[in-house]
Amino acid sequence: HSERKVNFGPGPAQLPLEVLKNVQAEFLNYNGSGSNVMELSHRSSAFAKIIQEAEQDIRELLSIPESYAVLFLQGGATAQFSAVPLNFLNLKSSQTADYLVTGYWSEKAAKEAEKFGKINWVVPKSDKYRGVPAENTWKLTENSSYFYYCSNETIHGIELEDIPSIVPKDTPIICDMSSNFLTRSFDITKFAMVFASAQKNFGASGLVLVIVRKDLVEKNTNNSIPVTFDYKVQIANASMYNTPPTFSVYIANKMFSWTKRQGGLKSMNQLSDKKSKVVYETIDQSNGFYSNVIENKYRSRVNIPLRIMKDGTANEKLESSFLSEAVKSNMIELKGHRAVGGIRISLYNGVSLQETTKLVDFMRTFQKNNS
Ligand code: PMP
């Protein structure tokens, strides 16, 4: 498959070749049905089996108890920026939710939530995200309806490995795990809800996975939620109130079973460690040629933004030549987000250690030739 490029994009991201080949083999005739999966009715027994298998696998991967619903919804993670406040803002007497804003995506979520009610920013707005302010500086609301944060800021490259310990035990915690979902294990019972877009670590865009505590959904008193955003309706209809994104669910099912075959989240965690370690080592050993400014403790293992420096400042000319030379070496999608510029290396589960090593070798050679 020499025509395949190595894709370090932030999402939609590269999928394992094994999964793509399997999908290709089933493309014209899924499991003897004589149809492609996207041509099957979402009410067919063949599709029911796909979505049920996907749910079983994710329940197994994350040890999700029956007290949580697993939903396959549409509109990506962005739709959840609205659905979360619509369903949960009135959960407690404060009718206020606490948002920890640590970068572009949690900021977007907080701003969307502000359309629906009172949102408290736990830390002041920043224009340079480099880490997370110390917990003892946070301002939490008394009796907050929920506490919201993003475990991995895809653009800024900031990852929170641990759940903030300062949040009171009885405050429901809601987390956007879009970009580091399935790269490590976590205890779902510590969360009221987590959600993740599919196009990074488990497949095709449009689909968002929602894992949510059923008892909290039951407590919801808002009767004017747009129907596709209403968790109560989605749970009652097993994600099929309307036609789900069937093909994306099919790919998610393939990715969950691939993840299991790799050895589950323990293996994914080790892989993530190894890949990010070689990249950060290359940055840190570059004598300042490559620069990543995130506090060590919060450096993301999944999205690594960097600048290429010359005479103490970021050098866009060098960065653009880095990008074009990378393309010549068959490595694509390394451009940083327009909000921060520079280079961004995304290391989702579908990117192998070998491919990461190839990039690191390229980085060292590029430095040698340009400094
Ligand atoms: N949250 C995070 C952390 C993301 O990285 C993204 C997408 N890059 C989103 C939310 C939005 O996801 P979508 O585009 O699928 O709505």
pLDDT tens digits, residue range 301-352?
999 999 999 999 999 999 999 999 999 999 999 999 999 999 999 999 999 9
Q: What is the CATH number of domain 264-370?
A: 3.90.1150.10
- Is pLDDT of 2 > 90? no
Q: Is the CB of 151 under 6 A from ligand 1?
A: no
Cβ–ligand 1 distance for 82 under 6 Å, the answer no
Single out the catalytic residue among 200, 254, 275, 335.
200
Q: What percent of the chain has pLDDT over 90?
A: 97
Domain at 17-261, CATH class: alpha beta
Q: What distance in angstroms lies between residue 77's CA and the mean position of ligand 1's atoms?
A: 5
Instruction: Provide the ipTM.
Output: 0.99
Q: Is pLDDT at 30 greater than 70 in this prediction?
A: yes
Q: Ligand 1 within 6 A of 148 CB?
A: no
What are the phi and psi torsion angles at 21 (to 5°)? -65, -40
138 is catalytic: no
Residue 287 identity: N
* pLDDT for res 84: 98
The per-residue pLDDT for 64 is 98
> Mean of the pLDDT values across residues 128-154?
97
Kindly state if the Cβ of 105 falls inside 6 Å of ligand 1: yes
Closest by Cα among 370, 55, 72, 316 to 208: 72
Q: Residue 239 — left, alpha, or beta (φ > 0 → left; ψ -120 to 50 → alpha)?
A: left
For residues 69 and 271, the answer to whether their CB atoms sit within 8 Å is no
Catalytic annotation on 258?
no
Nearest to 259 by CA among 18, 6, 1, 4: 18
Task: Decide: 350 in ligand 1 pocket, CB within 6 A.
Answer: no
Q: With a 6 A CB cut-off, is 203 part of the ligand 1 pocket?
A: no
pTM of the model: 0.98
Residue identified by tokens 């009718």 is: 95
Task: Decide: 77 and 70 in contact? Cβ < 8 Å.
Answer: no
Distance in Å, CA 197 to ligand 1 centroid: 6
| CA 98 – ligand 1 centroid, Å | 20
The predicted pLDDT at position 1 comes to 65
pLDDT band per the 50, 70, 90 thresholds, residue 38 = very high
Shortest-distance atom of ligand 1 to CA 153: 3
Please state the domain extents for the chain: 17-261, 264-370
Residues in the chain: 371
Alpha-carbon span 223 to 33, nearest angstrom: 41
Share of the chain above pLDDT 70, in %: 100
Task: Specify whether 105 is catalytic.
Answer: yes
- Whether the pLDDT of residue 137 is over 90: the answer is yes
Q: List Cα–Cα distances, 310 to 183, 281, 313, 370, in angstroms.
A: 34, 19, 6, 10
Q: Is 11's C-beta closer than 6 angstroms to any atom of ligand 1?
A: yes
Cα(195) to centroid of ligand 1, in Å? 10
Q: pLDDT digit string (tens) for 278-302?
A: 999 999 999 999 999 999 999 999 9
pLDDT digits (tens, 9 = 90+) for 184-233: 999 999 999 999 999 999 999 999 999 999 999 999 989 999 999 999 99
Q: What's the token pair of residue 135?
A: 């917990």
pLDDT tens readout for residues 151-173: 999 999 999 999 999 999 999 99
Q: CA–CA separation, 304 vs 322, rounded Å? A: 15
Question: Catalytic residue among 57, 92, 98, 105, which?
Answer: 105
> What pLDDT does 127 receive?
85
Q: Are 175 and 150 in contact (CB under 8 A)?
A: yes
In tens, the pLDDT along 79-112 reads 999 999 999 999 999 999 999 999 999 999 999 9
Adjacent-strand bridge partners of 158: 153, 299
Ligand 1 center–CA 367 separation, angstroms: 32
Q: What is the mean pLDDT of the chain?
A: 97
Burial class (CB in 10 A: 0-12, 13-18, 19+), 337: middle
